[in-house]
Structure 1
Amino acid sequence: MTYEAELIILGKIIIALLLGAAIGYDREKHGRDAGIRTYAAVCVGAAIFTSLAAHLGDTAAASRIVANIVVGIGFLGAGIISRDPGGKTSFGLTTAATVWCTAAVGVTIGLNEFIIAVGTTGMLYFLLSLHHQPWYKRWKAKVQDNESD
């Protein structure tokens, strides 16, 4: 691998760090266990594996590596999800889903799809911050009131 190729991959890793941190910012701001560091690490890891796989020039090997990122993050997500002792309420579903999506952002960076990565980061941040928006809180309360009738 040439120095130029390594520097390009390092640039991708820096972008992954920034986008992953941006996704985790809202979680960190509101005191969630998975925050900036978790989301940034997931995005960086996915970008590193994908960048190196893409550099190999073997499409089949790169496809296997990306598929294993998806599976690996699925296991991480399964560990994040839990139920209360009564088994009626689940916790961690949003975190697990957004960690999984953050890995996908890392994969897109590794594959040089920067516009998709930035756009998806914005969408994920919006989704994570949604429950703090007053209009969303009113809408959700209205929906819950209608369900209890």
Structure 2
Amino acid sequence: MILNPPTGLHMLDWDMLARLSSAAVLGLLLGVDRELRDMPAGMRTHGLICFSAAFVTVAALALYYQMGGLESNIDPLRVIEGTAAFTGIIAAGLIVVNKGEVKHLTTAAHVWLATVIGIACGAGLWPLVAFGAIVAVIMLTLLGVFEKRVLRQFRAERAPDDKIEDRAETPSPQIKKGRDIP
């Protein structure tokens, strides 16, 4: 069997460590929101997913360049695509539909986001990583606060009116003539 030449430990460099450690730290930070809300897929899950995505990306890119880069017919994007697809399967498994109510959809999207940020960390796309992390924090934390304080109050104020309208539109049960109802 012919294998690619091994990479020695002396090849461990600061760039690779920065890519992997930033993915681990950002994944943990992304999981804090889910952890504080006592939702599935908390800090450890997000940290592992983000780190794993970065790890796969770094490994795919390193193998690509080790095998000849542009001169080879290896496509590192297939590995990244597989990572993203697999995470989609994990995220879909988090979604629960119960009596018409969808639960954990935000957590599933959050897991997907952790994967994408991990891929960007692994690829060393630092401006993309920074922008993605900032947008994630804004959307998950600040919009969460907005939802709790503003939207819930708005919904609570509208709720009594909605219930009256719902009762008016609900047809009353009709009794059929000619039958004895016990």
* Residue correspondence of structure 1 range 55-134 to structure 2 within 5 A: 55-56=62-63, 57=65, 58=69, 60-84=74-98, 86=99, 88-134=100-146
Using a 3 Å threshold, how does the CA distance of structure 1 residues 105 and 28 change in structure 2: closer, same or farther?
Answer: same
Aligned to 1:23: 30
Aligned to 2:48: 41
| CA drift at 1:4 | 5.4
Contact in 1 for aligned 2:39/2:104 (Cα 8 Å)? no
| CA drift at 1:115 | 2.1
Report the TM-score when normalising by structure 1. 0.84
Q: Where does the alignment leave 5 or more consecutive residues of structure 1 unmatched?
A: none
Question: Which deviations, in whole Å up to 9, do the C-alpha atoms of 1:93-113 show, x marking residues without a partner?
Answer: 101111101100010011111
1:6 matched to 2:12? The reply is yes
| CA drift at 1:134 | 4.8
- 1:6 and 1:122 mapped to 2: Cα distance? 29
- 2:52 and 2:130 mapped to 1: Cα distance? 17
Report the TM-score when normalising by structure 2. 0.70
More helix by share: 1
Contact in 2 for aligned 1:131/1:137 (Cα 8 Å)? no
| CA drift at 1:2 | 4.7
- 1:34 and 1:134 mapped to 2: Cα distance? 22
After superposing on structure 2, the runs of 4+ consecutive aligned residues of structure 1 that deviate more than 4 Å are none
One-letter code of the match for 2:76?
Answer: A
Greater Cα shift, 114-123 or 35-44: 114-123
SS at match of 1:90: strand
Using a 3 Å threshold, how does the CA distance of structure 1 residues 21 and 9 change in structure 2: closer, same or farther?
Answer: same
Q: Where does the alignment leave 5 or more consecutive residues of structure 2 unmatched?
A: 1-6, 166-182
Contact in 2 for aligned 1:22/1:121 (Cα 8 Å)? no
SS at match of 2:12: helix
One-letter code of the match for 1:52?
Answer: A
| CA drift at 1:127 | 1.6
